[in-house]
Amino acid sequence: MFGNKTISEFPLMKRSRFKVIDKETSEIGDGKTNAPTEEEKRWLNILKSEAPEHEKLRRKLSVCYLAEVVSYNNDEVTIVYDGAQYTIKRPVNSLRIARAREQSPMAALEELNFQRCIVTGAVPIAKDFSGIDSDVIQLLGAVAENFFFIPYL
Protein backbone atom coordinates (compact mmCIF):
# COMPACT_ATOMS: atom_id res chain seq x y z
CA MET A 1 0.00 0.00 0.00
CA PHE A 2 2.77 2.43 0.88
CA GLY A 3 5.71 0.77 -0.85
CA ASN A 4 9.21 1.83 0.06
CA LYS A 5 8.41 5.50 0.57
CA THR A 6 10.74 7.72 2.53
CA ILE A 7 9.64 10.40 4.95
CA SER A 8 10.33 13.20 2.47
CA GLU A 9 7.61 11.76 0.23
CA PHE A 10 4.95 12.44 2.86
CA PRO A 11 3.34 15.77 3.63
CA LEU A 12 4.27 17.71 6.70
CA MET A 13 1.29 17.90 9.03
CA LYS A 14 1.17 20.77 11.47
CA ARG A 15 0.42 19.80 15.05
CA SER A 16 -2.46 22.29 15.15
CA ARG A 17 -3.96 20.70 12.02
CA PHE A 18 -3.53 17.20 13.45
CA LYS A 19 -5.59 18.20 16.48
CA VAL A 20 -8.63 19.31 14.42
CA ILE A 21 -8.73 16.64 11.72
CA ASP A 22 -11.55 14.11 11.92
CA LYS A 23 -9.39 11.01 11.79
CA GLU A 24 -12.36 8.65 11.31
CA THR A 25 -14.14 10.34 8.41
CA SER A 26 -14.08 8.86 4.93
CA GLU A 27 -14.53 12.31 3.37
CA ILE A 28 -11.66 14.02 1.59
CA GLY A 29 -11.40 17.70 2.47
CA ASP A 30 -9.68 20.73 1.06
CA GLY A 31 -7.65 21.65 4.15
CA LYS A 32 -10.18 24.20 5.36
CA THR A 33 -12.53 21.76 7.12
CA ASN A 34 -12.15 18.91 9.63
CA ALA A 35 -11.96 16.38 6.81
CA PRO A 36 -8.38 15.44 5.92
CA THR A 37 -6.97 16.22 2.49
CA GLU A 38 -5.89 13.32 0.32
CA GLU A 39 -2.25 13.71 1.45
CA GLU A 40 -3.27 13.99 5.11
CA LYS A 41 -5.35 10.84 4.68
CA ARG A 42 -2.26 8.97 3.41
CA TRP A 43 -0.32 10.30 6.41
CA LEU A 44 -3.04 9.13 8.81
CA ASN A 45 -3.22 5.73 7.11
CA ILE A 46 0.48 5.18 7.81
CA LEU A 47 -0.07 6.07 11.48
CA LYS A 48 -3.01 3.65 11.70
CA SER A 49 -1.17 0.88 9.87
CA GLU A 50 -0.09 -2.07 11.97
CA ALA A 51 2.20 -3.52 9.33
CA PRO A 52 5.64 -4.15 10.82
CA GLU A 53 7.39 -2.84 7.71
CA HIS A 54 5.84 0.58 8.35
CA GLU A 55 6.97 0.86 11.99
CA LYS A 56 10.00 3.01 11.25
CA LEU A 57 8.11 5.38 8.94
CA ARG A 58 5.17 5.52 11.37
CA ARG A 59 7.43 6.55 14.23
CA LYS A 60 9.14 9.21 12.11
CA LEU A 61 5.84 10.69 10.96
CA SER A 62 4.57 10.75 14.54
CA VAL A 63 6.97 13.59 15.41
CA CYS A 64 4.37 15.95 13.91
CA TYR A 65 2.09 15.00 16.80
CA LEU A 66 4.83 15.47 19.42
CA ALA A 67 6.12 18.87 18.34
CA GLU A 68 5.48 21.75 15.97
CA VAL A 69 7.58 20.47 13.08
CA VAL A 70 8.82 23.03 10.56
CA SER A 71 10.46 20.54 8.20
CA TYR A 72 11.79 17.03 8.02
CA ASN A 73 13.66 14.78 5.65
CA ASN A 74 15.63 11.59 6.13
CA ASP A 75 18.63 13.49 7.52
CA GLU A 76 17.11 16.03 9.91
CA VAL A 77 14.02 17.29 11.64
CA THR A 78 13.41 20.94 12.57
CA ILE A 79 10.95 21.92 15.29
CA VAL A 80 9.83 25.17 16.90
CA TYR A 81 9.32 25.49 20.63
CA ASP A 82 8.44 28.74 22.35
CA GLY A 83 9.60 30.77 19.35
CA ALA A 84 13.00 29.08 19.05
CA GLN A 85 13.86 26.76 16.19
CA TYR A 86 15.81 23.55 16.88
CA THR A 87 17.21 21.17 14.28
CA ILE A 88 18.24 17.62 15.08
CA LYS A 89 20.53 16.16 12.43
CA ARG A 90 21.32 12.55 11.64
CA PRO A 91 24.11 11.29 13.89
CA VAL A 92 27.64 11.30 12.55
CA ASN A 93 28.74 8.22 14.50
CA SER A 94 25.79 5.83 14.71
CA LEU A 95 27.70 3.21 16.69
CA ARG A 96 28.24 5.63 19.59
CA ILE A 97 24.54 6.57 19.48
CA ALA A 98 23.59 2.88 19.52
CA ARG A 99 25.78 2.25 22.56
CA ALA A 100 24.36 5.29 24.35
CA ARG A 101 20.81 4.25 23.42
CA GLU A 102 21.40 0.92 25.20
CA GLN A 103 21.75 2.95 28.40
CA SER A 104 18.79 5.30 27.90
CA PRO A 105 17.15 7.67 25.42
CA MET A 106 18.62 10.62 27.34
CA ALA A 107 22.14 9.20 27.07
CA ALA A 108 21.58 8.89 23.32
CA LEU A 109 20.37 12.51 23.18
CA GLU A 110 23.48 13.62 25.09
CA GLU A 111 25.66 11.71 22.60
CA LEU A 112 23.76 13.26 19.69
CA ASN A 113 24.41 16.68 21.18
CA PHE A 114 28.07 15.81 21.86
CA GLN A 115 28.37 15.07 18.12
CA ARG A 116 27.01 18.62 17.51
CA CYS A 117 23.86 17.30 15.79
CA ILE A 118 21.46 19.59 17.69
CA VAL A 119 21.46 23.21 16.57
CA THR A 120 19.35 26.28 17.14
CA GLY A 121 19.47 28.40 14.03
CA ALA A 122 22.87 27.45 12.66
CA VAL A 123 24.60 27.34 16.06
CA PRO A 124 25.11 24.05 17.94
CA ILE A 125 23.64 24.14 21.44
CA ALA A 126 25.93 23.82 24.45
CA LYS A 127 27.24 20.29 24.94
CA ASP A 128 25.92 20.25 28.51
CA PHE A 129 22.53 21.68 27.43
CA SER A 130 23.16 24.76 29.58
CA GLY A 131 20.64 27.50 28.94
CA ILE A 132 18.07 25.04 27.53
CA ASP A 133 14.83 24.50 29.51
CA SER A 134 14.16 20.98 30.72
CA ASP A 135 10.89 20.98 28.72
CA VAL A 136 12.87 21.58 25.53
CA ILE A 137 15.38 18.86 26.41
CA GLN A 138 12.55 16.37 27.01
CA LEU A 139 10.88 17.38 23.74
CA LEU A 140 14.15 17.06 21.81
CA GLY A 141 14.63 13.64 23.41
CA ALA A 142 11.15 12.49 22.36
CA VAL A 143 11.59 13.79 18.81
CA ALA A 144 15.06 12.22 18.47
CA GLU A 145 13.77 8.93 19.92
CA ASN A 146 11.04 8.69 17.29
CA PHE A 147 13.00 10.11 14.40
CA PHE A 148 16.53 8.72 14.71
CA PHE A 149 16.85 6.10 17.43
CA ILE A 150 14.35 3.60 16.01
CA PRO A 151 16.95 1.22 14.53
CA TYR A 152 18.54 0.83 17.94
CA LEU A 153 15.44 -0.17 19.93
Number of residues written out for the chain:
153
Give the pLDDT score at 7. Answer: 64
Q: For residues 63 and 55, what is the distance between their CA atoms, to the nearest angstrom?
A: 13
**pLDDT tens digit sequence for 75-119:** 899 999 999 999 999 888 888 988 998 898 889 999 999 999 999
In whole angstroms, give the CA distance from residue 52 to residue 54: 5
Check: CB of residue 146 under 8 Å from CB of residue 59: yes
Confidence of residue 139 (pLDDT cuts 50, 70, 90): very high
Q: Is residue 79 a contact partner of residue 139, using CB atoms and an 8 Å limit? A: yes
Distance separating alpha carbons of residues 39 and 146, to the nearest angstrom:
21
